[in-house]
Chains A and B, each alone.
Chain A
């Protein structure tokens, strides 16, 4: 599995700020894996995603030290337009991602491809296919401005996926959605994983992340404090010192340890915890 994104001693400070937002980041992200980025607010999660997409030097300005490589090529050498095809980016606020110039969801999904000059027939095929995948195929004729938060977020996903980017960066997609819509979003992320795309999600809902992500990166006050498989990272005590939220099943396991009845293996998902607790009950 090749390395698609690499951070080489990256530090970055936003313009007009005294303190650097992120300091000395070093990490390598492999293609086809799903990474969860967790950490407190203003700890550097969003800056990490922006750096990956090249928004930090190109759009926000500020000072960048070290270099970010995408598919081996330094970000600064990438053309603006190529970047938006290479890396898809979905944002936190669903309603800010509606273009406002299209009157139906069908055309809204096609907008990205229209900008890139994709042929009409190919566009129609891709839109229908992606709309089915994202469960908005029943909303194709609705006006995008009249959609609910969850529907808007799914349409935003669809219009980015239509560009067929291999890497998708998602910055807190579910913070304004209710639990049902959050599950829909994570189902989409699951489908992306099955298609072999690299997915990077910054998110607060840690319980959902634990179920869907292969690897977790924990970032707090500007530096990576832990990186590895979900099981290792969540058990790492440094997370609790830096105030990083961990899944409830993990805190349950830790409390069970204090109460003298530890689990044999650190659980990550609810089903796993229930299975282990049942075994423990029969064992007693």
Chain B
């Protein structure tokens, strides 16, 4: 297959977006529009996935150059030309972008299919898919773009889509606020990212990753111990560190790391498929993708890597603790996402970028599965998200329970499931951190893994095992003989719990298989000698040795590591089972009143005080600054006063100048002569001075 077909990976979702966004103009029949949307919107994404798969298979089996550029614009007539600044619209086809394309289109396609069922009754069905397709396009642009600028376009594009989808049900003010929050917090990170891009432009002279002349940023950085710019000079390490840290700020914003994680829990306001697609499987991993893409830069800066690793660990741990006390089923998952992203950052921080991507992939599977499962639960519970009002759903939703338990065990690191392999790879790498702090990172990772296992099983127990804390009226019932369109909660009490339509369940099954088996497939004991993903990704990922860094010796043997992490995971799962098994009626370890009174619980529920801190600094402090300083000091007393002064002085001057306009041609001619004489005298003086 011609590699040019790879272009379609990017453009098909855009076609879908164009169709969805304009179909309302020429399709007046709403039912037809909906049917077409149902076919086209998931169809383009799945087609994109198929093409990506074909490209990957062909790409992986071809021995020739493994990184390919597909120009969207010619080299001589670039996409953007501004002075000496030239950017082409090229796509880079390399292992990293292919893996991410597969994840985005694969998981995204499954979630599209799921959404067909989930959003079936929504008024804005087509609008939802418009945003979804646009999101897929932007995410693909982010991973496929051959330069920082295209990546930035995609980066901002997914931000926009995220904003649009979080506040999809914008009539509820809380949703709109959540969207705003996500957008604004992301801006902080984007500022860092854009500063990083500018720094790259000014120090490297290019923003492309790869170029046909092998003068791209990554190629320039692909030298042992030094980084060149396009003219052949050496870029100092301090500059690399600065650039890496600026890029990392962008990654922190997009991937919800400390201190910019506060938007992600609130982003759960959107429809559940949105949470699954954007805030679990794809968009939030953009930071990890970006770090991996820039691995050639990062390995040259031990400082930046160190920062990444510790921020990742801190995030993983803190988010895990916060997840312990959440009562909203989606918020538990949101904090777990943050926590898992922390793992990925830790992997990047110790230089093991390919295992970071490995975890991105496995996490995409099981976290999508978890969200979709939670969505199925919420769907069945008529939109109820509070776990305190659930319980005993295992009998009502057995299929959902089955896929959820696979996903839970996978994320908890239950042996031989996907999460086990990827998480263990990260812990192994962390223990061998080049900086010598491997023991600490390993210990922190293990504690977090234990907490993860605990809170995930807590979720399962609260939702599925403990006694029912709801009435049948709160369930999505189904009356025989009626179609699904007959509406929510109709004919209460006479029907039975309808789990979910097929379009919602089949994606779950597929994801469940992947969540269970992919880790083995790509892990060290997989086919073809193991470590398939590592080997495939190798050309896109810089080895640590490039920057002169070297991992330390193993802390323990691999088998001992596997045993230890298995033990920790099982311990967490068992502890939760034991604690909640004793409280089958209430489904809570502490009574609500006691929980509210506990300072620790309050501290964790309040995100370790981050929200309050931001509230104090930015909302209150910023408000004061705006009101006192800017409005009075700058706006009223300076700008307005200057404006008034200019107006008054212009009026006064023109009052004086008005007398000059006599209307007599001769006067004007005289003034012209004055100018001419002045000019001639000036020229004469100028000539005389020579």
Do chains A and B interact in one complex? no
